[in-house]
């Protein structure tokens, strides 16, 4: 009797165990499927149709036409090139300069470091729209502080946001402004984590300051640096979306449009769902391939001291 | 995922071993200079926003570092132009509800991953992790259509819906729960606690540090969200403050004073959280990466 009931409980337990994880997972999984996975599939489907988003108008199947027309579009290639410029332009601001600062300031006293830390983190928590508004005001061609100073020096005002050659760099610097302090903090933390006895030992051996940086600090920081580089490549152009949207609208003449902004433009300004979805699919595949390669690289090259 | 790489204490205390070398005087002066320059670069735009918001219209274009005739003029103009209070409340509801829901679904899902081995668990976990890499711009059109189909365009509820669950919360919590000592859980089981009670009475209270830091992160990033509200907004009354700010920047011209006032109001809650919980805010952002 006792044995039977024990077996029964065990059986009940087992079927309960089989079901339980799914019950706990359900709310999260349903949300992710509904708002991310199903939309991905739907984007693929819509990329083969022509449709203007009005429920009353018909969806016409057009096959690969959306794709071939996008690839034939100069605007697409311009946006792709700009995406590359964003990434290359952001790397010094989001990785290189923070790395130099983190290494250079590693021996500042704890107390003042905490103060600097508190200040340079501020841009990270400021809303992108607020950042865009403030920079728009600072860089206004007529009355902005920057141009008032430039004019004060007797130079011609710079059209930071409406000169096609300058605008993209302006957006890059603003995006970099948001990230620089944060990257510096991450790299400083990694730098402070390096076992000081390694540095001490090298110093005893008569290594110069530069040798210590080159042979100890940089290799030990490489995984953090690689992580930041990967983030910049994967997300860099995406971070600038708000600034492009608020500050330049992708212009002048498409000079600041990157691939993310082009998606938005196709989907919601031109109301062409097919084009928008097709470029979303292209972006997703490209993005996925790059992410895959980069994460493999991280796995292979990350380097730990313990 | 790789966010572990940066889950290190911020500026962890230099170990006692380290000596201040003799020639560090000049170097550290240069180091201070570098940090001061970076600090100015980072803080000045925010400072300029505050100062400009207190300049009345007739002195808007002056370049003094302090408003010569400080006034609240811009704030009253901004409040007259758009329903700022309503928009701030909407933003608060959007952020607070999203935070609570994301934590809730995250805690439940993380518990499933940490507590059981079940067929397909690794696959599902990878599936969750991968959503972190899907750019929102890729799924925005179907998401928009879904909301339109539900008849929820232009509502705060629709803003919340895709934010009910997020990969980041699930992954960070699963990590924390896996690190939790098994013996404690076993002891609770011996006492006859079922899974539900173990989760809420043992795990959650003990993980409140992680949960709090996650809450800060989710709240601030939801508060600052712009793209999704931009897609759904039709009327100011049903929108968030980030959209309100945008209304002062039009092709016809910018109303600089009210724009700076509205930006200040939109930043104030986040800045207050930051001033009060500075250390925790920095920690939680660094622990969970950039997104």
Whether residue B201 is predicted with pLDDT greater than 60 in this model: the reply is yes
**Residue A270 DSSP one-character state:** S
- The enclosing H or E element of A154 equals none
- The enclosing H or E element of A50 equals strand A49-50
Reported ipTM: 0.85
- CA gap B46, B50 in Å, rounded: 7
Residue A243 included in any domain? yes
Q: Do A227 and B290 touch (CB under 8 A)?
A: no
CB nearest to A145's CB, from B15, B48, B289: B48
Number of domains observed in the structure of chain A: 1
Task: Provide DSSP, B62-107.
Answer: ---SS-SS--SHHHHHHHHHS-HHHHHHHHHHHHHHHHHHHHHHHH
Q: Do B270 and A136 touch (CB under 8 A)?
A: no
Residue A161 included in any domain? yes
Residue A78 included in any domain? yes
Spatial contact of B275 and B105, defined as CB atoms under 8 Å apart: no
- Dihedral of CA atoms A220, A223, A227, A228 in degrees, nearest 10, equals 20
Distance in Å from the first CA to the final CA of chain B: 13
Residues of chain A with Cβ-Cβ distance to B146 below 8 Å are 34-35, 39
Cα Rg of chain B, angstroms = 24
Inform me whether the C-beta atom of residue B109 falls under 8 Å from chain A C-beta atoms: yes
Position A91 scores a pLDDT of: 93
- CA gap B62, A214 in Å, rounded: 48
CB nearest to A134's CB, from B49, B127, B285: B49
| B 142-161 residues with CB < 8 A to A | 142-143, 145-146, 148, 161
- CA gap A176, B60 in Å, rounded: 27
Q: How much is the average pLDDT of B73-91? A: 89
Spatial contact of A282 and A80, defined as CB atoms under 8 Å apart: no
Whether residue B24 is predicted with pLDDT greater than 80 in this model: the reply is no
Residues of chain B with Cβ-Cβ distance to A179 below 8 Å are 290
Q: Which two tokens stand for residue A171?
A: 């957006």
Interchain CB contacts (distance < 8 Å): A and B: 312
Core vs surface per residue A204-237: b (16+ CB within 10 A) or e: eeebeeeebbeebbeebbebbbbbbbbbbbbbbb
Domain of residue A204 covers: 65-301
Residue A235 included in any domain? yes
CB nearest to A192's CB, from B11, B116, B263: B11
Spatial contact of B224 and A133, defined as CB atoms under 8 Å apart: no
B171: left (phi over 0), alpha (psi -120 to 50) or beta: alpha
Spatial contact of A143 and B60, defined as CB atoms under 8 Å apart: yes
Inform me whether the C-beta atom of residue B266 falls under 8 Å from chain A C-beta atoms: yes
Cα Rg of chain A, angstroms = 26
For the domain spanning B82-287, the CATH number is: 1.10.3720.10
Q: What is the CATH number of the domain that holds A292?
A: 1.10.3720.10
Q: Which of A110, A98, A87 is nearest to A221 (CA)?
A: A98
pLDDT in tens, chain A (306 residues): 455 566 666 666 666 677 888 999 999 999 999 999 999 999 899 889 888 877 777 888 888 888 988 888 888 899 889 999 999 999 999 999 999 888 888 778 878 888 888 898 899 899 999 999 999 999 888 888 888 888 888 888 888 888 888 899 999 999 999 988 888 888 888 888 888 888 888 888 888 888 888 888 888 888 888 888 888 888 887 788 889 988 888 778 888 888 888 888 887 777 788 888 888 898 888 888 888 888 888 777 765 544
- Mutation target for B interface from A24, A148, A209, A250: give the one with most B CBs within 10 A: A24
Q: How many other CB atoms are found less than 10 A from the CB of residue B278?
A: 15
Tens-digit pLDDT profile for residues B177-200: 998 888 888 888 888 888 898 889
Beta-carbon contacts of residue B279 (< 8 Å; ≥ 6 apart): B10
Q: Do A138 and B48 touch (CB under 8 A)?
A: yes
Domain segments of chain B: what residues? 30-71, 82-287
- Dihedral of CA atoms B276, B278, B280, B284 in degrees, nearest 10, equals 130
Burial of B206 (0-12, 13-18, 19+ CB in 10 A): middle
Burial of B177 (0-12, 13-18, 19+ CB in 10 A): buried
Position B1 scores a pLDDT of: 36
Position B79 scores a pLDDT of: 87
Residues of chain B with Cβ-Cβ distance to A242 below 8 Å are 226-227
- Mutation target for A interface from B45, B219, B265: give the one with most A CBs within 10 A: B45
Nearest CA in chain B to A175: B42
Using a pLDDT cut of 70, give the percent of chain B over it: 89
Q: Which two tokens stand for residue B76?
A: 């009253």
Tens-digit pLDDT profile for residues B239-287: 999 998 888 887 677 788 889 999 999 999 999 999 898 888 888 888 7
- CA gap A95, B247 in Å, rounded: 34
Contacts 24+ apart (CB under 8 A), B47-54: B48/A134, B48/A137, B48/A138, B48/A145, B49/A130, B49/A133, B49/A134, B49/A137, B49/B260, B49/B263, B49/B264, B49/B267, B50/B260, B50/B264, B52/A137, B52/B256, B52/B257, B52/B260, B53/B257, B53/B260, B53/B261, B53/B263, B53/B264
Whether residue B14 is predicted with pLDDT greater than 50 in this model: the reply is no
Phi, psi of B39 (to 5 degrees): -60, -40
Residue A19 included in any domain? no
CB nearest to A21's CB, from B52, B112, B291: B112
Contacts 24+ apart (CB under 8 A), B206-209: B206/B180, B207/B173, B207/B176, B207/B177, B207/B180
- CA gap B105, B166 in Å, rounded: 8
- Higher-confidence residue of A218 and B95: namely B95
Q: Which of B146, B130, B4 is nearest to A32 (CA)?
A: B130
Residue A153 included in any domain? yes
Residues of chain A with Cβ-Cβ distance to B21 below 8 Å are 107
Inform me whether the C-beta atom of residue A54 falls under 8 Å from chain B C-beta atoms: no
């Amino acid at each position: 009797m006792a044995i039977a009931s024990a077996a029964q409980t065990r059986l009940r337990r087992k079927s309960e165990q089989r079901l339980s994880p799914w019950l706990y997972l359900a709310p999260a999984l349903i949300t992710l499927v509904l708002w991310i996975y199903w939309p991905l599939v739907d984007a693929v489907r819509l990329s083969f149709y022509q449709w203007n988003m009005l429920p009353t108008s018909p969806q016409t199947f057009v096959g690969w036409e959306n794709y071939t027309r996008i690839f034939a579009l100069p605007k697409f290639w311009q946006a792709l090139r700009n995406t590359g410029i964003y990434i290359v332009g952001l790397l010094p601001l989001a990785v290189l300069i923070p790395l130099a600062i983190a290494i250079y300031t590693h021996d500042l006293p704890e107390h003042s470091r905490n103060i600097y830390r508190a200040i340079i983190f501020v841009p990270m928590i400021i809303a992108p729209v607020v950042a865009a508004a403030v920079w728009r005001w600072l860089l206004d061609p007529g009355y902005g502080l920057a141009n008032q100073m430039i004019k004060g020096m007797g130079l011609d005002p710079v059209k930071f946001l409406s000169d096609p050659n300058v605008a993209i760099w302006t957006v890059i610097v603003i995006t970099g402004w948001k990230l620089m302090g944060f990257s510096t903090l991450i790299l400083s933390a990694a730098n402070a984590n390096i076992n000081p006895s390694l540095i001490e030992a090298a110093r005893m051996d008569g290594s110069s300051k530069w040798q210590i940086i080159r042979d100890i600090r940089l290799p030990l920081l490489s995984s953090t640096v690689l992580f930041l580089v990967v983030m910049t490549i994967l997300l860099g152009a995406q971070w600038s979306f708000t600034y492009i949207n608020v500050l330049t609208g992708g212009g002048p003449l498409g000079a600041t449009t990157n691939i993310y902004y082009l998606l938005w433009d196709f989907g919601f300004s031109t109301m062409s769902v097919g084009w928008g979805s097709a470029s979303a699919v292209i972006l997703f595949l490209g993005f996925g391939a790059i992410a895959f390669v980069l994460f493999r690289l991280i796995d292979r090259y990350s380097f730990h001291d313990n | 995922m790789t966010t572990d790489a940066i889950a290190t204490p911020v500026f962890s205390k230099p170990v006692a071993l380290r000596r201040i070398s003799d020639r560090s005087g000049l170097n550290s002066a240069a180091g201070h200079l570098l940090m001061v320059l970076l600090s100015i670069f980072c803080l000045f735009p925010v400072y300029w926003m505050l100062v400009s918001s207190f300049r009345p219209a007739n002195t808007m274009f002056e370049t003094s570092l302090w408003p010569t005739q400080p006034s609240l003029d811009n704030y009253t103009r901004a409040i007259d132009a758009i329903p700022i209070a309503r928009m701030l409340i909407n933003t608060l509801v959007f952020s607070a509800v999203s935070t609570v829901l994301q934590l809730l679904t995250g805690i439940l899902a993380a518990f499933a991953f940490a507590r059981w081995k079940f067929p397909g668990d690794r696959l599902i976990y990878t599936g969750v992790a991968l959503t972190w890499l899907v750019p929102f711009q890729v799924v925005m059109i179907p998401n928009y259509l879904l909301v339109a189909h539900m008849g929820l365009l232009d509502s705060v509820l629709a803003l919340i819906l895709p934010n009910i669950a997020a990969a980041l919360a699930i992954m960070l919590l699963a990590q924390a729960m896996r690190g939790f000592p098994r013996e404690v859980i076993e002891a609770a089981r011996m006492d006859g606690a079922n899974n539900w009670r173990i989760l809420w009475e043992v795990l959650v209270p003990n993980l409140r540090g992680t949960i709090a830091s996650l809450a800060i992160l989710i709240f601030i990033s939801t508060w600052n969200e712009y793209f999704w509200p931009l897609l759904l907004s039709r009327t100011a009354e049903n929108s968030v403050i980030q959209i309100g700010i945008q209304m002062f920047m039009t092709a016809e011209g910018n109303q600089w004073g009210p724009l700076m006032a509205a930006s200040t109001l939109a930043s104030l809650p986040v800045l207050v959280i930051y001033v009060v919980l500075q250390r925790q805010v920095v920690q939680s952002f660094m622990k969970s990466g950039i997104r």
